[in-house]
Structure 1
Amino acid sequence: MIKGLYEAHLPVRNLETSIEFYKKLNFEIAYQKEKLVFFWIEKGRSWLGLWETDKVETPYHPSLRHIAFQVDIEDIEVAKEWLEQKGIPVKTDFGFRPEKQPLVLPNNPNAHAAIYFQDPDGNSLELITPLRLDFEEDFEMMSLEDWNRKNN
């Protein structure tokens, strides 16, 4: 029955500023009203709604104001440079300097490569790709570079 996630929503302070930011990520506007815009993530399959609202003041927590966008492994390998070319810094919340990113997350029994950044309102955004599914192995979070060295 359920095939995937069709939409997600984030609060923003200024819709025009947010539109310019999300266009940098190559999102196409699907629908727009005065205080709302929907961007296609994958045209006809998923979209992101941005709402201009004072709810943007809700403090960040991983369960709120966070979206992870799936990318291919080839794309995650160049994601840091791609973001930097667009003037978007990567987050270093996990103690890994930008040059040591993307990260590999130990979500046992799965492993994912990811890189985190923020939109102009502090909403947490993530590019992520699965590296290994359903394989039990404990390991510490590491850089994708270290993962590749260890597993190739």
Structure 2
Amino acid sequence: MIKGLYEAHLPVKNLEVSIEFYRKLGLKFAWRDEDTAFFWIEEGKSWLGLWEGKEYQTPYHPSLRHIAFRVTYQDLKESVKWLESIKVEPVPFGRRTSIEPFVRPNQGNASVYFNDPDRNSLELICYVKVPNELKHITEKLSFGDWENLVKGKLT
């Protein structure tokens, strides 16, 4: 039934700063009013709403302030360079210390994380084809380790 993201909303302290940040990520501006702005994630399909207000300045758990943007595997491989080129710092996920993208074989995806100016958690994520014999791996693997592991297993 669910086909993708329709909309997501994030609290922001300064709407102008956030508008500039999300434009820098390449999202297309849709519209704004006094204290909200919307950006297309996929034009005509899904969008992101930003809501400015003092009540949004209280820290929240990242699970309440998180959006994942779908990308290709190749884009994810280049994501750290891209983020750095637009002056956005990637951040480690969870207990990881590396900012590099990583693969979750048991979930069939790979991702890299970063924050917006209000420390909302953002993620670039892609699907990863996982051979059946590797789906039990719960460890998060670097792209290099992953590609060495699946070499010759994917056809």
TM-score by length of 2: 0.87
- CA offset at residue 25 of structure 1? 0.4
Rounded Cα–Cα distance in structure 2 between residues aligned with 1:57 and 1:134: 44
Contact 1:8/1:47 (8 A) holds in 2: yes
Mapping for residues 49-128 of structure 1, pairs under 5 Å: 49-93=49-93, 94-98=95-99, 101-106=100-105, 108=106, 110-128=107-125
Rounded Cα–Cα distance in structure 2 between residues aligned with 1:10 and 1:117: 15
Rounded Cα–Cα distance in structure 2 between residues aligned with 1:72 and 1:12: 28
Contact 2:12/2:57 (8 A) holds in 1: no
Amino acid across the alignment from 1:18:
S
- CA offset at residue 28 of structure 1? 1.0
- CA offset at residue 138 of structure 1? 2.1
Contact 2:104/2:138 (8 A) holds in 1: no
TM-score by length of 1: 0.89
User: Does 2:130 match 1:129?
Assistant: no
Rounded Cα–Cα distance in structure 2 between residues aligned with 1:134 and 1:56: 43
- CA offset at residue 63 of structure 1? 2.3
Contact 2:29/2:38 (8 A) holds in 1: yes
Range 53-62 or range 68-77, more displaced: 53-62
Amino acid across the alignment from 2:97:
F
Contact 2:28/2:40 (8 A) holds in 1: yes
Match of 2:148 in 1: 149
- CA offset at residue 133 of structure 1? 6.0
- CA offset at residue 134 of structure 1? 8.9
Contact 1:56/1:121 (8 A) holds in 2: no
Match of 2:139 in 1: 140
- CA offset at residue 148 of structure 1? 1.1
Deviations 1:33-78 (A, max 9, x none): 1110000001011000000022333323242000001101111010
Q: How many residues align?
A: 148
